[in-house]
Structure 1
Amino acid sequence: MARGGTGTKGVPRDVREGQIVEVAAAHFDRDGYAHVSMNAIAAAAGISKPLIYEYFGSKDELYAACVRAAGERLVTAVSGAAEASVATDATTTRALTTLRAIFDSLEEHRHDWGLIYDASVPASTSAHALVARYRRRLNEYGFAGTAESTAGRRDPLDQSLMTHLWFGILAVAMRWWHDHPDETAATMTARCQRILQSLSEEGSRE
């Protein structure tokens, strides 16, 4: 990717690249890597398709730029939530803290989650390797969190099930939010809090 200098119409190159990435992220999230149109991205960004290739070299590199920005934001949010949750022993509190951090991060960047979990990215591309790296980093925090939640329990399958449940909750919550775009990060957090509290109360009565 080119760096420095001046872009089109006097716009600094790094600013123009950032604008292209923002537009491309929306298209990649909506259409998926396999079906996105570089012509559509160029038209939406108000530039020519050759200029995109001049800046990024290929569709793969453009997607990688989108993933890099999205991945760093999400990892930063989740790692911060993990640090904030160290002092608590309540599983629901840790889960809610993490969900809140993710929702807050996605508030201004709704496309980030879809970029990291796009199943249409070809395994042979460098973008796929980058996506896999960010997934692993996010998964590591999930594994660590569920390990803390099941600490002291003798059955190792408890952690396995807890981990699968956690990632299932995340996937469903993100898919539901995608289908209800008018929901804010605050309302999503509040909904999840009510649901987690309800589940916790049901469990304590058994």
Structure 2
Amino acid sequence: MQLIGLTGGIGSGKSTASRYFENLGCAIIDADVIAHKVVEPGSKAWKEIVKNFGQEVLLPSQQINRQLLGSMVFSDPGKRKILNQCTHPYIRREMMLQILWNFLQGKKFVILDSPLLFESKLTKWMKKVIVVYCSEQQQVDRIVKRNNFTEDEAKQRITSQMSLSEKRSMADYVIDNSGTLEHTRLQVVDLHQKIRALSHYHGLHLWILIATLFILLLFVLLLLL
């Protein structure tokens, strides 16, 4: 089974591309969904967050106030590092469990959707990396509209991550999400075909290798008889 990394930046449209891949039947491991799951009230990560940031980061429901916590850590690299230490070990463990589950199901490839694919050094495990790209101004405009942030708050979120241009330079494939949704969808369809062909080729290559080794082993056994 091959791992295909899908990443981008906040507001770049990564989630849109991920949804299109999912609509095509691809198995998706979504780091954002996992990040929400591991901080459910009472979980180990939740307890570590409360311990390090205090009860004020909790809503009356005891859920983490993600907007408040985000405003605290995105302006402070030290606090952001502490938050990552609270959550990343549990996120990675859940990712590994989901990868194992998909492997046992016989999936030929799985898409790992993560905004911090490069920053978390996960690219070394990926067969190919896809970056969803748009201009920084488009990122700002989308974040302001979606999250009701000011432009300064949006730019703060963007600069807390590796720049999209840097990610783009290290990608195997780039999805240009600066145009229409249909343009993005068609790029996803094209990439889906390429990834399927790649996984099919490598799958055949593996079976040919296994068959060759089996024949050689059988030949050796016959010589020994």
- What is the TM-score with the length of structure 1 in the denominator? 0.28
More strand by share: 2
- What is the TM-score with the length of structure 2 in the denominator? 0.27
More helix by share: 1
